[in-house]
Structure 1
Amino acid sequence: MEPDVLVIGGGNAALCAALMAREAGANVLLLEAAPRAWRGGNSAHTRNLRCMHDAPQDVLVDAYPEEEYWQDLLKVTGGITNEHLARLTIRASSTCRDWMRSHGVHFQPPLSGALHVARTNAFFMGGGKALVNAYYRSAERLGVRVRYEAPVDRIEVKNGRFVAALLRNGERISARACVLAAGGFESNRDWLREAWGQNERGEWPADNFLIRGTAFNQGVLLKHLIDDHHADRVGDPTQAHMVAIDARAPLYDGGICTRIDCVSLGVVVNREARRFYDEGEDFWPKRYAIWGRLVAQQPGQIAWSIIDSKAIGRFMPPVFPGVKAHSLPELARQIGLDEATFMQTLNDYNAACRVGRFDHTALDDCHTEGVAPAKTHWARPIDTGPFFSYALRPGVTFTYLGLKTDDTAAVRFNDQPSDNLFVAGEMMAGNVLGKGYTAGVGMSIGTAFGRIAGTQAAAAALKKGAQHASA
């Protein structure tokens, strides 16, 4: 039976769209490219949702008002964001949790201490995998049909209207409305190479990128919509949620546990054994996602986070043990860096430290003077053995190149919104995220626009159905 609404994708945004369309009375079919065991896309690796709130609410402490959320987003994006759509996302984040709970999502009690996010982020009990499993159970209970291992390679569009989807197996599925929520192109190595190109050292940086999430986000539909249907696009193809992760992480699906969280508590050096950025710029929820791009710009796309014993116990322990040495020269030799340059870098940094009242939970007054780059917070000499090093590579979570949209989530062609083709999640996140990232905002965007897209698609489909019935 032809569905009223076809949802292409299987992560948070797609599921939100499918659930909202079904609740609005539409017959819904969801196509997930991955096998059932790998369903959920990058959403399965998530942990939390950044939420606006004007007063303490259930699992959120204190207040995180709209203007502060907006200023945080403005800061990390450097102003490369659509304020109208950003504020829509922010406001929607304050009202979605009851709906999420109605579909089986549970939230855990507030976190405190070093994670520093109990005020701004609501954490899913069981993480993102539990969230997508809850949504799939709810979808199936409500009668949403789900097909796995059903990748869509192309869609038919006529005069800006969705007509049908063509699956890789040759099958054609028509529908009265469609929601595209099939992710970015971060798993497509050829496209990453094309986007990043070759640097002045003759390297292809993308060859050294690791993918934190799913292997199924190949960007096939995104490329098809942009190249073949000339859909309006937004964003820079080199911009992405990119984190510095353990260089020993797997190529795909390493997830949150591969992140290295001790960057702010020590120094980071490149292959030439030199520092290249302020390790103490801000708390990790606002600044952890700049480090992947910073490492991507270094020789060989590799760097090392260096700490001493004073930092132990103050950050989330990595999955893999670091390289351990009882002296800094020994550490340099173990990780293969030039010992003389490494020692000059560390000695210059240590001499520049102006230690005040150290507090890794606040923007403290421990800083450097007379060294470049400066370290503006949490600067303490690295002088207490044993010493540890963690090799870092760029870890891509999702890309920001996407389809331009508006507050109806409609795909646009020549600046005209389609009346039955909608987009949500990574495929449109670049409207809000031109660059940078702050923890939990990806799930805020996916949830907000997934719900809008599902509602709009159901309305378009049911309107079309009513017209056919009256004819």
Structure 2
Amino acid sequence: MKDGEIHVDVLVVGGGNAALCAAIAAKRLGADVLIVEKAPMFYRGGNTRHTRNMRCAHDAATETLTGPYSEEEFWDDLLRVTEGNTDEKLAKHMIAKSKDMLTWIAEQGVRFQPSLGGTLSLGRTNSFFLGGGRAMLNALYKTAEELGIKVMYETPVTDLDIVDGHFKSALARHEGKPLRIHAKSLVAAAGGFEANIEWLKEGWGDVAENFLIRGTPYNRGDVLRLLLDKGVEPIGDPTQCHAVAIDARAPKFDGGIITRLDCVVFGIVVNKLAERFYDEGEDFWPKRYAIWGRLVAAQPDQISYIIFDAKSLKSFMPSLFAPIEANSIAELAQKLELPVEQLEATVGGFNEAVQPGTFDHTVFDDCHTKGLAIEKTHWARKLEDPPYYAYPVRPGITFTYLGTRVDEDARMLLQGGGKADNMYAAGEIMAGNVLGKGYAAGIGMTIGSVFGKLAGEGAATHV
């Protein structure tokens, strides 16, 4: 290393799950690997810090999974949530590769635990990290350090030297000084641009000012912008993203998983006009929870309210914030500053429309409404047991889908045709290849792990 310069085999930009999987895979093939992470050490790992599980195909039950989850079922779930907006060949390739990931991840020190209960319904399909995403990250960092992978924190990449699809070097800042990093291969795993409100506004308009960002404030899309400006082919719609309804009282950035609300299926959701606007019982929560951010974003002032009664209070994982409580619907409306008569009419009309049935949130039950403009097709129960509760919610953006197009080896593709010579991408920065729209719980970690390992192996093999 010369003053202001570093030479390595593989440069990995980013510090989350995808970056760690790439770095470890490359190192295990003999490459000299450097990770540069924009965030300080405490905030390392991007959105991985806030995750809980990953979705992988598997042939049989395990100590932590209750049954098999075939490649065909995984594909069917992905096809349903994306409504066909996915690269079928690449997605099926990822699903096939996911079968080996649980073993490989465990070999890197990550441990799993049985699924949580409640509305998650993921005990068969998703593997939960023991201790959550931060523990998973710590295990991967420990393995990386033991392998001799160097990590530089607070080192943002400011420019990339790319000529005709060939990466030569990156310019970064470290300890306040410019640093030129020469590498034989590049793995970009630096996340999306969800923390860049101005970029979000390019697609969404001014409504993006009311969005809350669930994860790290460091994911501003700087590396993504550099890559697209220097000839990498883009993929995805800038307005498509993983967007869920989160507690409106959450901080602007980094509220994480504890601000997410899983209680939609137990009640009704109204906008600031006290009107329902979507079927709260359309499908099981893990397959539909990620539509609610976009739904709320389309409502006046990007605000809505989940309303339920006493019988549902302990049926789901609570938010970090306590629900707003009242002894009557009128009192609840006043506390929420909603039109009282309209909310009473909405709740009253809903209650009258509820049909007799046997409530069971673990199956598609027969509890539904009849006669409403917007029916609730499952899990419909009258709101009649005081006290009544409400959570205010806003769109919570997890990560964006506009990214870099890649092939089955995670190699970046170029504008105008052709493949990059020595540039790979993994994780949120290329998630739009698989996720054109929609989301199902745990797929983000699958994308990061599978394509991270592929990118690392490809980068090391190129070296």
Separation in structure 2 between the aligned mates of residue 430 and residue 424 of structure 1, nearest angstrom: 11
> Which of 131, 144, 151 is residue 146 of structure 1 equivalent to?
151
CA contact (8 A) 1:356 1:365 kept: yes
Alignment-derived partner of residue 8 in structure 1? 13
CA-CA distance at 1:231 after TM superposition = 1.4
> Which of 79, 85, 88 is residue 84 of structure 2 equivalent to?
79
Alignment-derived partner of residue 184 in structure 2? 176
User: Once superposed, what is the RMSD of the aligned Cα atoms?
Assistant: 1.0
CA contact (8 A) 1:355 1:379 kept: no
Q: 1:426 to 1:282 in 2, by over 3 A?
A: same
Q: 1:276 to 1:110 in 2, by over 3 A?
A: closer
Separation in structure 2 between the aligned mates of residue 109 and residue 382 of structure 1, nearest angstrom: 33
- Listed as ranges, the matches of 1:83-162 within 5 Å are 83-112=88-117, 114-162=119-167
CA-CA distance at 1:249 after TM superposition = 0.5
Q: 1:74 to 1:399 in 2, by over 3 A?
A: same
Alignment-derived partner of residue 287 in structure 1? 288
TM-score, normalised by the number of residues in structure 2: 0.96
Paired letter, 2:89: H
Alignment-derived partner of residue 393 in structure 2? 392
Q: Secondary structure at the match of 1:175?
A: strand
CA contact (8 A) 1:121 1:440 kept: yes
Separation in structure 2 between the aligned mates of residue 216 and residue 385 of structure 1, nearest angstrom: 43
Q: Which runs of 5+ in 1 are unaligned?
A: 198-203, 462-471
Alignment-derived partner of residue 379 in structure 1? 380
Paired letter, 2:248: A
Moved more, 107-116 or 356-365: 107-116
Q: Secondary structure at the match of 2:133?
A: helix
Q: Which runs of 5+ in 2 are unaligned?
A: 2-6
CA-CA distance at 1:365 after TM superposition = 0.5
Alignment-derived partner of residue 260 in structure 1? 261
Separation in structure 2 between the aligned mates of residue 374 and residue 248 of structure 1, nearest angstrom: 29
CA offsets per residue over residues 241-274 of structure 1, 9 Å max, x none?
A: 0010000011111111101111111000001110
Moved more, 210-219 or 99-108: 99-108
CA contact (8 A) 2:165 2:231 kept: no
The number of aligned residues is 454
CA-CA distance at 1:419 after TM superposition = 2.0
Alignment-derived partner of residue 60 in structure 1? 65
Q: Secondary structure at the match of 2:265?
A: helix
Separation in structure 1 between the aligned mates of residue 23 and residue 319 of structure 2, nearest angstrom: 36
Separation in structure 1 between the aligned mates of residue 27 and residue 82 of structure 2, nearest angstrom: 35
Alignment-derived partner of residue 195 in structure 2? 187
Paired letter, 1:118: G
CA contact (8 A) 2:411 2:424 kept: yes
Moved more, 263-272 or 408-417: 408-417
Separation in structure 1 between the aligned mates of residue 328 and residue 118 of structure 2, nearest angstrom: 31
Separation in structure 2 between the aligned mates of residue 387 and residue 343 of structure 1, nearest angstrom: 12
Moved more, 413-422 or 172-181: 413-422
Alignment-derived partner of residue 432 in structure 2? 430
CA-CA distance at 1:230 after TM superposition = 2.7
Separation in structure 1 between the aligned mates of residue 119 and residue 204 of structure 2, nearest angstrom: 35
Alignment-derived partner of residue 310 in structure 1? 311
CA-CA distance at 1:56 after TM superposition = 1.2
Separation in structure 2 between the aligned mates of residue 294 and residue 114 of structure 1, nearest angstrom: 20
Paired letter, 1:194: E
CA contact (8 A) 1:17 1:452 kept: yes
Matched, 1:51 2:49: no
Paired letter, 2:344: M
Separation in structure 1 between the aligned mates of residue 320 and residue 221 of structure 2, nearest angstrom: 30
Separation in structure 1 between the aligned mates of residue 34 and residue 395 of structure 2, nearest angstrom: 36
Q: Secondary structure at the match of 2:112?
A: coil
CA-CA distance at 1:61 after TM superposition = 1.3
CA-CA distance at 1:107 after TM superposition = 0.5
Alignment-derived partner of residue 366 in structure 1? 367
Separation in structure 2 between the aligned mates of residue 268 and residue 10 of structure 1, nearest angstrom: 37
CA contact (8 A) 2:118 2:317 kept: no
Q: Secondary structure at the match of 1:244?
A: strand
Paired letter, 2:188: L
CA-CA distance at 1:159 after TM superposition = 1.3
Q: Which runs of 4+ in 1 moved over 2 A?
A: 109-115
CA contact (8 A) 1:61 1:110 kept: no
Alignment-derived partner of residue 417 in structure 1? 419
> Which of 439, 442, 467 is residue 441 of structure 2 equivalent to?
439
Moved more, 55-64 or 123-132: 55-64
CA contact (8 A) 2:118 2:316 kept: no
CA contact (8 A) 2:122 2:286 kept: yes
Alignment-derived partner of residue 33 in structure 1? 38
Separation in structure 2 between the aligned mates of residue 74 and residue 28 of structure 1, nearest angstrom: 36
CA-CA distance at 1:111 after TM superposition = 4.0
Alignment-derived partner of residue 167 in structure 1? 172
Moved more, 49-58 or 318-327: 49-58
Separation in structure 2 between the aligned mates of residue 401 and residue 21 of structure 1, nearest angstrom: 26
CA offsets per residue over residues 119-147 of structure 1, 9 Å max, x none?
A: 00000001110111111111111011110
Q: 1:377 to 1:114 in 2, by over 3 A?
A: same
